[in-house]
Amino acid sequence: MSAFGYNNSLSQSPTARYFFRHLLSHLFTQIKKYLDHGWASHYAARPRCDTPEVSEQKPSVEIDALFSRGSRGSRSRAGMTSNMPQSGQNIAESVRTMKNKVMMPTRLESSTASIASSILQYRTIQGRTFHSEKYNTEYFAPNDDQQSASMDITHHYLTLLLDNKLFLAPLKQNIQARIWAIDFADEYPNAEVIGTDLSPIQPTWIPPNVKFELEDATDTWTWPEDTFGFIHIRYLVGAVADWNKLFEEAYSRCKPGGWVQSCEIDPTFYSDDGTVDDDYAFQTWNRLAVEGGKKLGRSFCIVEEGLQVPSIRSAGFVDVQEANYKVPVGSWAKDPKLQEIGQFLRSTMENDAEGYTIMLWNQVMGWPEDEYQVFLMSFRKALKNKRYHGYMKLRYVWAQKPEVDQTET
């Protein structure tokens, strides 16, 4: 890190560290595209087989969000300042402005595998690219840089929410077991961390103990049974048709005594004082999420419907625990920590309100196109109104696969 001016004082600030990572990753990813003449870096297009090779000594896996390009929650990006951002547009502009001010690395990793051309045949909807139709998952959010920036901000506010912890599950010290995958790999250098995604969109500049694989987490998993000591699943909102199947796959691939953790948010707006109840923009957003999810057959109201805990229990996990949060949208909360978190959550939506809604509005709901831009303007304006005390419901659930002797009894 020090070779790139990443000094100790900066590394102690999670906000500064987030932006610095965002900056480095953006620059290195662009360099990699030009050097390799295409998409490849650090991805393995895993063939479907019963016995893929797996390291027996490095037991961690990251299944980090099919949400927005698989949520590049497994990717690392960073910008340039520890000051609180005022809008998502400012964050994106900061990265564009500063990206040329960082030294190039001395070496870039070469491609590890070719990628099937069908995976790169992205769909285009009004100028935004979406995951290939190769997958069964009809995922609602784009896989382009603008949406990825929002998901990177999402990772940051979730890290702040957990007081800079990456997980809540009580992992044993010998389970060596960010951006989730990258932060996790930095913190546990003896672990092998695998991140999955639907598209090859992760950064090139990653720790040596991280790799990314093309995998649809809602399909049958290709790893052998009892492989991983920790499975981290985050932000699959709007992507999962069968939550029971998802956690059955996780249970099968988790080692006895290993842990699974699921983090999901309901992207619908709530308020305890009724301030968002009559607002056109917020209620239209809520309708898109609720009704759009029903039409897709993939719920956006995972917390409200309580989908995580029953599915995890049904799969066979034990010691199921949960933590629930009301995450403010904007800076209206009195608590300083929640104010900061709320500003970052608002920034994710300001940065790409279009990306979260364009497919739902046009392709799924079929609402009038001439009303769409009016909605976007109203929504962005409402996000900045401090009289609206909106929040979103977020839930972490973690559970353990029984030890061998427990499963036998």
Question: What's the pLDDT tens digit per position in 227-281?
Answer: 888 898 988 888 899 999 999 999 999 999 999 999 999 999 999 999 999 899 9
* The residue count for the chain: 409
Taking the C-alpha atoms of residue 128 and residue 146, their distance in angstroms, rounded to an integer, is: 9
- Distance CA(284)–CA(290), nearest Å, equals 10
Provide, rounded to the nearest whole percent, the portion of the chain with pLDDT above 70.
Answer: 52
Task: Give the Cα separation of 230 and 240 in Å (integer).
Answer: 20
Q: Does residue 104 contact residue 92 with C-beta atoms inside 8 Å? A: no
Question: In sequence order, which residues have a C-beta less than 8 Å from that of residue 393 and are 6 or more positions away?
Answer: 265, 266, 268, 270, 303, 304, 324, 325, 326, 327
pTM: 0.65
| 3-state secondary structure (DSSP) of residue 266 | coil
Quick one: the chain helix, strand, coil %, rounded to 5? Answer: 40, 15, 45
Interval 122-170: pLDDT, tens: 567 666 767 656 545 466 666 666 666 777 787 788 888 888 787 787 7
Q: In this structure, what token pair is assigned to residue 47?
A: 């063939």
**pLDDT at position 118 over 80:** no
DSSP letter string, 202-235: --S---TTEEEEE--TTS---SPSS-EEEEEEE-
User: E strands of 27-143, at which residues?
Assistant: 43-44, 60-64, 123-125, 128-130
Q: Which residues are CB-contacts of 245 (< 8 A; sequence separation ≥ 6)?
A: 218
pLDDT number for residue 296: 87
| Res 391 pLDDT > 50 | yes
Residue 153, pLDDT score: 81
Q: Give domain 2-408's CATH architecture.
A: 3-Layer(aba) Sandwich (3.40)
Contacts of 290 (CB under 8 A, 6+ apart): 268, 300, 301
Residue 405 burial (C-beta neighbours within 10 Å; 0-12, 13-18, 19+): exposed
| Domain ranges (residues) in the chain | 2-408
